[in-house]
């Protein structure tokens, strides 16, 4: 390959050893900076694949193709005039003659040499680690070998409960193997999580069916011709068909040591702040480099090293400095993050801790003793506030007085205002070193209006993707600051917001997804817009959702929540929690007949679990005959209206809270909305029904009722806000009609009422103007639309059991009426449980 240069000019020869993520990033950075075409680049890669995304490697088991993992198009290296030798590692370096030699015999001279050899899996000295059936988890080739072997296996054990080990465990789950994780420490992810955070993570993993074995030191891997069991130092054993070792990494520095470069006592090529080794013509970047005693095992610092090396080679003055190792990950679908000093080990601090053991959410932040600075933290189960917490820590921003509010996205103030308050130097995308100023500048000067445009313009969000929520907020707020209208469209198939689509559906009397697509969409639709249109149609017309089965998720498609193990729950409506003895007996008889697990819920209902899909119509036929209706526990709709016993029985009760709760539940049952809605009615200020944690909360007073709105529990709990005081029942209902219809018409998809209110300009005061004072003059219309919707109510399950065609849809297999043979149960506390709940 010959590249034209100026006559008589000499091109510096540069060799890159390694074609991983960091080596590839170095090539990108150097080509961007080498404006005068000074370098002739040759790359040697050990694998047969060109550079691919190791961060998302586990997605290969979930169906992601190798092509989708590649970091460049097939012809990128040739187009950039880079010689690429794949499946041909460098085996010898003569740093005096400046020549490298590859395994195939290619000799290549250099002026500058870049080590990007990365790391290799650390395999502890375990007897039997060379057995057939023992694997490491590092490359695409490893994944292919694991996949091929897994066809013959039923159980897999992963040695290592850190980041890499849990990624490997996810891969084993994706291969439908019984999965065990073995960790020698007393907790999972000991470098990132404290004891409580690790407990929450372990609980979530166990609910997914992963068996966790802590404080277990593996002494041997045994078997005759292949792996059969593991022996531990405490003389216990674990039967398994295969073993994946993921116990950490070791820098690949063998070549460096062979050619005389200085290395650390525990490995790693010693580099200075310019990424130069002990030979100034040789650089090292990524996981093979040792800087100030630290091996950086994340992609972001590796990319920064690539930037520094490329800058120094092209004459720019840039240096590497100790890199923040904060990280946000999704392990097996579970969000985990830590930042700063997560354990509070380095500075005197005061911890602020939130625990929700029901939903397995744990949050901890460490605050300086004077309460002014954020020092670090841990998040498990809900990491939506991570980006803002990280920026608050990195930029030493002042903390609000109500410290607990910063644990929750949007809590304690305006999230977007907080994003704009960040300094322009705040590093938003650490993978690509993109600051807030660069992102806002791209919006202002280059016309960027969306995340995809920002990726192309600045590369922000193209690495691990953790910064994308903040990038999106910055784009939207920058556009608003310019006085531009920010339109939030559903997806590429519908260039409208949900609110606009709702109005169009009503105006055009659209009744199906195909009609909506033909009238104001394009293409065939996708997994984003189909559920949105389904929700709009259900809210607008209250028609049977199962008619739109092909655009619904599993729960709405089968009018039941799918549970662990693959069975479904049956939840009949019990308005206000009031139920007759005869109906209680009927539920018991049905549960006994179909062998269903029973539980009384926090919403004053009786849930029955463990029904096979083909049994659902049979069960509901009996329930509807006994006078029960669908409880809509599966839908984005009004769920329950919880109540205390009120004045009927309680000596403190002021009004009949049970009767009012039943009236409200009977009125709004089945009402479809952007997200689920829960209500409660309390008979006095003692609040036994917990009304102030609900979307709609009604509390009795001596003069009438107080109405609270837009609260919710869950991973991000929020107290409801007082809308009106001392009003009569008729006014309560009128205000609820208006508020719910306004919410249904204007909220974005999957937005709870609490989040909707947080984002509503003007907040509760504006909502009062709309709902109470009718300043927009739309209350009459809202009430009419609500009544029209309620007039179309019918029990969805009654409609199904009476329609043979709809009943035929409830089968596990399309070509057989047989139940799922893989569903297994065990008995515990005299009831059945899914076998996976171990």
Three-class secondary structure of residue 92 per DSSP: strand
Has residue 359 been placed in a domain? no
Residues 618 and 666 in one domain: no
Q: Are residues 113 and 172 in the same domain?
A: no
Q: Would 173 be classed as within a structural domain?
A: yes
Query: Are 154 and 294 contained in the same domain?
Result: no
Residues 666 and 772 in one domain: yes
Residues 263 and 150 in one domain: no
CA distance 109 to 460: 36
Residue 327, domain member (yes or no): no
Q: What is the CATH number of the domain that holds 583?
A: 3.90.480.10
- Dist. CA 658–CA 604, nearest whole Å: 12
Residues 23 and 113 in one domain: yes
Q: CB under 8 Å to 563, separation ≥6 — which residues?
A: 569, 609, 610, 834
CATH number reported for the structural domain that contains residue 182 in this entry? 3.50.50.60
**Residue 823 located in a structural domain:** no
pLDDT at 8: 46
**pTM for the complete prediction?**
0.59
Q: Are residues 139 and 115 in the same domain?
A: no
CATH number at residue 644: 3.30.413.10
- Domain edge (last residue) among 775, 791, 807: 791
Structural domain boundaries enclosing 29: 12-119+251-313
On whether both 594 and 663 belong to a single domain, the answer is no
Residues 624 and 636 in one domain: no
pLDDT of residue 524: 78
pLDDT along the chain (838 residues), means of 10: 46 95 95 91 95 82 77 91 95 95 96 96 90 91 90 93 87 88 93 91 87 94 92 94 92 95 95 96 96 89 94 92 76 80 81 83 89 89 84 83 68 50 83 87 88 87 77 85 75 83 88 87 80 85 67 66 78 90 93 90 88 90 93 88 90 91 93 92 92 94 94 80 94 96 90 88 89 92 91 88 86 64 75 64
Is residue 478 situated within a structural domain? no
CA distance 460 to 430: 9
Q: Which two tokens stand for residue 421?
A: 């308050």
Q: Of 791, 808, 826, which residue sits at a domain end?
A: 791
Which domain-ending residue is among 582, 608, 630?
630
Asked whether residue 749 is domain-assigned, the answer is: yes
User: What's the chain's Rg over C-alpha atoms?
Assistant: 30
Give, for 517, the enclosing helix (H) or strand (E).
Answer: helix 513-520
Name residues whose C-beta falls within 8 Å of residue 71's C-beta, 6 or more positions apart in sequence: 21, 24, 50, 51, 52, 53
Confidence (pLDDT) at 9: 57
CA distances from 92 to 86, 95, 119, 256 (A): 16, 10, 18, 9
* Domain contains 366: no
Q: Domain check: are 668 and 778 in the same one? A: yes
Q: How far apart are CA 513 and CA 524, in angstroms?
A: 10
> Looking at the domain assignment, is residue 181 inside a domain?
yes
Per-position DSSP letters for 246-300, written without gaps between them: -S-EEE--HHHHHTT--B-TTS-EE--TT-B-SSTTEEE-GGGEEBTTB---SHH
User: 186 and 98 in one domain?
Assistant: no
Please count the structural domains in the chain: 4
> Does 83 share its domain with 169?
no
pLDDT for 409:
53
What are 294's two structure tokens? 């630290």
């Amino acid at each position: 390959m010959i590249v034209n240069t100026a006559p008589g000019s000499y091109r510096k020869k540069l060799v890159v050893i390694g074609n991983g993520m960091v080596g590839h990033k170095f090539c990108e950075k150097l080509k961007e900076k080498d404006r005068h075409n000074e370098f002739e680049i040759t790359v040697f890669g050990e694998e047969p694949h060109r550079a691919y995304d190791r961060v998302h490697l586990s997605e290969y088991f979930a169906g992601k193709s190798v092509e989708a993992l590649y970091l460049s198009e097939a012809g990128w290296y040739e187009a950039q005039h880079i010689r690429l030798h794949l499946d041909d590692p460098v085996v010898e370096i003569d740093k005096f003659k400046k020549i490298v030699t590859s395994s195939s015999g290619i000799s290549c001279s250099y002026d500058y040499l870049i080590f990007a050899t990365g790391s290799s899996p650390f395999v502890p000295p375990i007897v039997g680690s060379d057995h057939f059936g023992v694997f490491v988890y590092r490359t695409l080739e490893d994944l292919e070998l694991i996949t091929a072997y897994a066809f013959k296996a039923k159980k897999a054990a992963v040695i290592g409960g850190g980041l890499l080990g849990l990624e490997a465990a996810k891969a084993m789950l994706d291969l439908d193997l019984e999965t065990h994780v073995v960790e020698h420490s007393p907790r999972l992810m000991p470098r990132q999580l404290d004891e409580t955070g690790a407990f929450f993570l372990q609980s979530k993993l166990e609910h997914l069916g992963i068996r966790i074995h802590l404080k277990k030191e593996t002494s041997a891997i045994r078997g005759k011709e292949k792996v059969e069991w593991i022996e531990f130092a405490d003389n216990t054993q674990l039967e398994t068909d295969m073993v994946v070792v993921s116990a950490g990494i070791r820098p690949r520095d063998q070549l460096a040591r062979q050619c005389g470069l200085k290395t650390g006592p525990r490995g790693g090529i010693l580099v200075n702040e310019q990424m130069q080794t002990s030979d100034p013509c040789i650089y090292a970047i990524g996981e093979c480099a040792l800087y100030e005693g630290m091996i950086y095992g994340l992609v972001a610092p590796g990319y920064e090293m690539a930037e520094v090396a490329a800058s120094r080679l092209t004459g720019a003055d840039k240096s590497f400095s100790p890199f923040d190792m904060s990280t946000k990950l999704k392990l097996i679908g579970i969000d985990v993050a830590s930042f700063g000093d997560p354990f509070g080990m380095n500075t005197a601090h005061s911890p602020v801790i939130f625990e929700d053991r029901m939903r397995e959410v744990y949050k901890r932040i460490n605050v300086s003793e004077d309460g002014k600075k954020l020092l670090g933290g841990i998040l498990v189960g809900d990491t939506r506030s991570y980006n803002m917490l990280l920026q608050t820590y990195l930029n030493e921003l002042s903390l609000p007085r109500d410290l607990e509010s910063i644990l929750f996205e949007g809590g304690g103030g305006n999230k977007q205002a907080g994003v704009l308050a960040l300094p322009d130097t705040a590093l938003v995308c650490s993978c690509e070193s993109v600051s807030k100023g660069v992102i806002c500048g791209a919006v202002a000067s280059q016309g960027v209006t969306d995340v995809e445009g920002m990726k192309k313009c600045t590369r922000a969000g193209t690495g691990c993707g953790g910064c994308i929520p903040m990038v999106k907020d910055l784009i939207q707020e920058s556009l608003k600051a310019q006085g531009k209208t920010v339109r939030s469209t559903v997806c590429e198939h519908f260039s409208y917001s949900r609110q606009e689509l709702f109005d169009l559906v009503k105006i055009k009397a659209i009744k199906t997804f195909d009609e909506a697509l033909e009238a104001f969409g394009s293409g065939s639709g996708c997994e984003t817009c189909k559920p949105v249109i389904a929700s709009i149609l259900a809210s607008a017309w209250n028609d049977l959702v199962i008619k739109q089965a092909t655009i619904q998720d599993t729960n709405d498609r089968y009018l039941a929540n799918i549970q662990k193990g693959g069975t479904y729950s049956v939840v009949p409506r019990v308005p206000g929690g009031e139920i007759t003895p005869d109906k209680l007996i009927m539920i018991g008889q049905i549960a006994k007949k179909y062998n269903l697990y029973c539980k009384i819920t926090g919403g004053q209902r009786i849930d029955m679990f463990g029904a096979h899909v083909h049994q659902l119509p049979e069960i509901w036929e009996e329930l509807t005959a006994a006078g029960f209706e669908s409880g809509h526990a599966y839908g984005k709709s009004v769920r329950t209206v919880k109540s205390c016993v009120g004045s009927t029985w309680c000596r403190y009760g002021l009004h009949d809270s049970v009767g009012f709760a039943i009236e409200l539940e009977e009125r709004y049952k089945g009402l479809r909305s952007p997200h689920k809605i829960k209500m409660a009615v309390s008979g006095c200020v003692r609040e036994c029904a917990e009304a102030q944690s609900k979307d709609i909360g009604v509390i009795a007073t001596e003069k009438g009722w107080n109405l609270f709105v837009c609260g919710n529990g869950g991973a991000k709990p929020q107290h409801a806000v007082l809308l009106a005081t001392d009003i009569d029942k008729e006014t309560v209902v009128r205000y609820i009609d208006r508020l719910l219809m306004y919410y249904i018409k204007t909220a974005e998809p999957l937005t709870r009422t609490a989040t909707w209110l947080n984002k509503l300009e003007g907040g509760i005061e504006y909502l009062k103007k709309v709902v109470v004072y009718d300043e927009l003059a739309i209350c009459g219309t809202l009430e009419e639309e609500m009544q029209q919707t309620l007039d179309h109510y019918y029990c969805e399950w009654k409609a199904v059991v009476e329609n043979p065609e709809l009943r035929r849809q409830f089968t596990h297999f399309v070509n057989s009426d047989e139940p799922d043979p893989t569903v297994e149960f065990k008995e515990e506390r005299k009831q059945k449980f899914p076998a996976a709940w171990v």
